[in-house]
Structure 1
């Protein structure tokens, strides 16, 4: 087992992490750092945004420590009344999202109805190409980073629209798994193009059942919460025979407006003819783009792996599941992009192995949010090695 660094050890003593995908009555929080590079806020100011809580110990395989520098500040947040955008609670903490009229894709209504144009004026709705903007566009510091890279005032954090989870909440087939394909994509005002959050082809559908989480395949880059974000979706249940016999799950588009969006992850339901999809979304303010790259090498035998990111949103750590599957050979996981508030700590939780496996347990890594640069950590297991790289950028 690797030696636990002092900062990581202090974090773990104060952090209580929930089971994967579980909602929390008392979310974990982060203690104030005594870093010499902290912003000169008063001791009282620093404590006012942090809550001390007991921790539940978990078995650690190993943990590495990364040394980075960043500033600390307070976040200013605003709660939103979901009734303002036509959302009505259908159950505790679940809201039904209004789908734009005549926004279906299969029958081409969204392309023919010009009334949707006033809702989203950037780009061409009929253009189905994926966004060409890449993540990490401003990860390298430049001569414009003044006065110094660590305290750059030339590049600013932005509000990022973040998907925390996508779940199949209802399906006509409740007794077993189904094959699901299609997409959920966001269009923002950066280029107006499709930025896929979920994207599965009919030839390679995702197998899920009612109540299970649909693993997200994106976004490709950070989704900027400007004046408006348009979410498009077209998902179907695959039939074993012909595509025309597939059942339409959801099809249409919904809108999110600046200042009329949830600032804490909120479950919102998209209702369809043959089922419902729940999405958990929020605007992460004063955020940076974290690009997470994970490579598993030196695999001696197969093992299960789950990877989640925990992001500090209004002083509560919220979970984003990034990967869940079995590792049988050397491979790189799908690159993940997450919005992280500036001057906070992002946590990555690796859950490794099966019950009875000598390497079973949890590994917790921490990465301090920066405007530019990257940080890497290495995990050594008995069955494999895991390399983790996080690259920071403004958008």
Structure 2
């Protein structure tokens, strides 16, 4: 399999980094959708339900996290356009090209598409991939309890070197974040391959007034994520002029890409919903918050969620469902999916007040 493009010199980028959900229904049920369904196709594994105070084993535990300062590459800031004049970055990944990656993951639903006489495709191989587990607002200006953030954080890998947005918010659509809380990730669009170092660019600002000139720069620049990035999630603090952002990530070996689609239908009443994914990384399951919000009508969640999962391991999805004014604890549901190179797995969760349909498509990055 030939990549669309590569840039060997990107291996050198490591060198410059050193500079610078009770009583919802009497018969809550599980159903598997038939393969003939146009959207959902393959049967999957079981899931469990528990009351809110009887938390399941996949609960993300609070634990001490060691944070180290990230090395920001010299002359990589955007607001003064230094990054565009950085000849080294221009050479290895064309940082002046601000286009978003358009590559879609390669998908073969039938393994015999590779070789008709074989049950399993042996042409396509798993890869090292980067997984970003969280972004957290670590510091804000003094005497500020919350801020409105906008801007972008994006990754560039050797697949096509274009921008693969992790966060992308305009000034007209900022997010309100408190110190110590998570910054909602809007990406990535596709899996991030990590067979060579990955460049992570960031330009995040704090909206202060009517004019952009009044805004504060939170973080600005770029960091180099090297091939020595551990498989166990590690946290790096990106320090800026007016605060700091913690990024937790890992280099996942032998990984495939899971694309998660969620459709909510037959909504009888509004409810709150949070969705998290737990994947095996560095010896334990680690959590990634995918969605947290209120559902008022039938819809598909606003985006597809892309997760790097180690081949042969299990990806767990945790749903926490609550209803405003309910006397009962929130309902927790768990589904699990085993990583594979091709195909898709589906679930349907039937609640009294809604139906949640899931589809996980397994792909490999080029």
Aligned pair 1:17/2:44, yes or no? Answer: no
Aligned pair 1:103/2:76, yes or no? Answer: yes
Q: How far apart, in 2, do the equivalents of 1:300 and 1:276 lie?
A: 42
Residue aligning to 1:390: 360
Deviation at 1:176, TM superposition (A): 2.4
SS in 2 for 1:295: strand
Deviation at 1:313, TM superposition (A): 1.3
Structural RMSD (CA): 2.6
Task: Report matched runs for 1:1-395 at 5 Å.
Answer: 1-2=28-29, 8=46, 16-19=57-60, 22-24=61-63, 93-117=66-90, 121-122=92-93, 124-145=94-115, 148-149=118-119, 151-172=120-141, 174-258=143-227, 260-333=228-301, 334-354=303-323, 357=326, 360-395=330-365
Gaps of 5+ in 2: 1-27, 33-43, 51-55
Alpha-carbon contact 1:310-1:319 (below 8 Å) kept: yes
Deviation at 1:142, TM superposition (A): 4.7
Q: How far apart, in 1, do the equivalents of 2:47 and 2:192 lie?
A: 33
Q: How far apart, in 1, do the equivalents of 2:307 and 2:203 lie?
A: 23
Q: How far apart, in 1, do the equivalents of 2:106 and 2:298 lie?
A: 25
Task: Write the deviation string for residues 120-155 of structure 1: whole angstroms up to 9, x where unpaired.
Answer: x14x21010100101354455353247634x32211
Change in Cα spacing, 1:153 to 1:308, as seen in structure 2 (3 Å) is same
Q: How far apart, in 2, do the equivalents of 1:233 and 1:140 lie?
A: 39
> Which structure carries more relative contact order (alpha carbon 8 Å, separation 6+)?
2
Q: How far apart, in 1, do the equivalents of 2:330 and 2:48 lie?
A: 23
Deviation at 1:4, TM superposition (A): 9.8
SS in 2 for 1:115: helix
SS in 2 for 1:299: coil
Alpha-carbon contact 2:256-2:308 (below 8 Å) kept: yes
Q: How far apart, in 2, do the equivalents of 1:134 and 1:174 lie?
A: 44
Residue aligning to 1:84: none
Alpha-carbon contact 1:186-1:197 (below 8 Å) kept: yes
Q: How far apart, in 2, do the equivalents of 1:252 and 1:140 lie?
A: 43
Deviation at 1:359, TM superposition (A): 7.7
SS in 2 for 1:365: strand
Bigger share in strand? 2
Alpha-carbon contact 1:136-1:391 (below 8 Å) kept: no
Q: How far apart, in 1, do the equivalents of 2:248 and 2:116 lie?
A: 37
Q: How far apart, in 2, do the equivalents of 1:197 and 1:9 lie?
A: 29
SS in 1 for 2:111: coil
Q: How far apart, in 2, do the equivalents of 1:355 and 1:361 lie?
A: 13
Q: How far apart, in 2, do the equivalents of 1:141 and 1:7 lie?
A: 20
Residue aligning to 1:66: none
TM-score (structure 2 length as normaliser): 0.82
Alpha-carbon contact 2:47-2:334 (below 8 Å) kept: no
Q: How far apart, in 2, do the equivalents of 1:226 and 1:165 lie?
A: 21
Q: How far apart, in 2, do the equivalents of 1:11 and 1:331 lie?
A: 23
TM-score (structure 1 length as normaliser): 0.76
